[in-house]
Amino acid sequence: MTEISLPEYFTKVNDRLPGEAERVLKALVEEGSMNKEDLSLTARVKRAVLDHVVMQLFALGLVDVSTEGKSKICSLTRLGGDYFQLITAG
């Protein structure tokens, strides 16, 4: 097994995520935590696509999803913030 650095890992992750993932992360960086409806509008991602993207980001530990009443609140994790800085820097 070959060891890779965290920046190299993030680069490989970025190559595999859909383009909408960066818009979702950017919306969370700029606006903070929000429910999926607001996130869909802010990130300009269709709701059906958003659910898929959020689950991918959640599985990677980049986004956290919590429940408030009937709403699912999405928020950026610290790792997600680091990831977003890395992919937007290069």
CATH (domain of 41)? 1.10.10.10
How many domains are contained in the chain? 1
Residue 1 included in any domain: no
Quote the pLDDT of residue 90.
Answer: 63
Residue 75 included in any domain: yes
Phi, psi of 17 (to 5 degrees): -85, 150
- Per-residue pLDDT 10s for the chain (90 aa) are 778 888 888 888 889 999 999 999 999 999 999 999 999 999 999 999 999 999 999 999 999 999 988 899 999 999 999 999 988 886
Q: What is residue 69's DSSP assignment?
A: T
How many CA atoms within 13 Å lie on the side-chain side of 21? 25
Cβ–Cβ < 8 Å for 53, 18? yes
Centroid of chain to Cα 36: 12
Domain that holds residue 32: 6-89
Residue 59 included in any domain: yes
Residue 41 included in any domain: yes
Phi, psi of 65 (to 5 degrees): -125, 125
